Amino acid sequence: MDTGGRILLVLSIAAAFLVPMSNAWLPASSAFQIPTWVLSLLGKYLCYALLALALDLVWGFCGILSLGHGAFFALGGYAMGMYLMRQIGTRGVYGNAELPDFMVFLNWKELPWYWYGFEHFWFAMLMVLLVPGVLALVFGWFAFRSRVTGVYLSIITQALTYALLLAFFRNDMGFGGNNGLTDFKDIIGFDIQSDGVRRTLFASSALSLALGYVICRLLVTSKFGRVLVSIRDAESRARFLGYRVEHYKLLAFVVSAMMAGLAGALYVPQVGIINPSEFSPANSIEAVIWVAVGGRGTLYGAALGALVVNFAKSWFTGALPEVWLYLLGALFICTTLFLPRGIAGVVPRLFKRFDGGLVGLISGLWRRPKEDAR
pLDDT digits (tens, 9 = 90+) for 313-353: 998 888 888 888 888 888 888 888 888 888 887 766 665 66
C-alpha span between 38 and 57 (Å, rounded): 29
Q: What is the pLDDT of residue 316?
A: 86
Each residue's pLDDT tens digit, 248-285:
999 999 999 999 999 999 999 999 999 999 999 999 99
Q: b/e string for 295-322 if b means 16 or more Cβ within 10 A?
A: bbbbbbbbbbbbbbbbeebeebeeeeee
**What confidence category does residue 117 fall into, taking pLDDT thresholds of 50, 70 and 90?**
very high
Please state, in angstroms and as integers, the Cα–Cα distance from residue 284 to each residue in 78, 144, 289, following that order: 17, 20, 9
Q: What percent of the chain has pLDDT over 90?
A: 77
Give Cα 109 to chain centroid, integer Å: 36
User: pLDDT class for 16, splitting at 50, 70, 90?
Assistant: very high
Q: At what angle do helices 324-338 and 281-294 cross, to 10 degrees?
A: 40
Give the mean pLDDT of 33-57: 96
Other CB atoms closer than 10 Å to residue 344's CB: what's the count?
23
Q: Where are the alpha helices (DSSP H) in 146-280?
A: 150-168, 195-220, 223-233, 235-240, 245-271
Mean pLDDT, rounded, of the chain:
90
Asked if 44 and 264 touch (Cβ cutoff 8 Å), the reply is no
The pLDDT of residue 363 is above 60: no
Using DSSP, state whether 273 is helix, strand or coil: strand
| Overall average pLDDT of the 143-152 stretch | 93
Taking 90 as the threshold, does the pLDDT of residue 357 lie above it?
no
What's the pLDDT at 353?
A: 60
Percent of all residues in the chain with a pLDDT value above 70, rounded to a whole number: 92
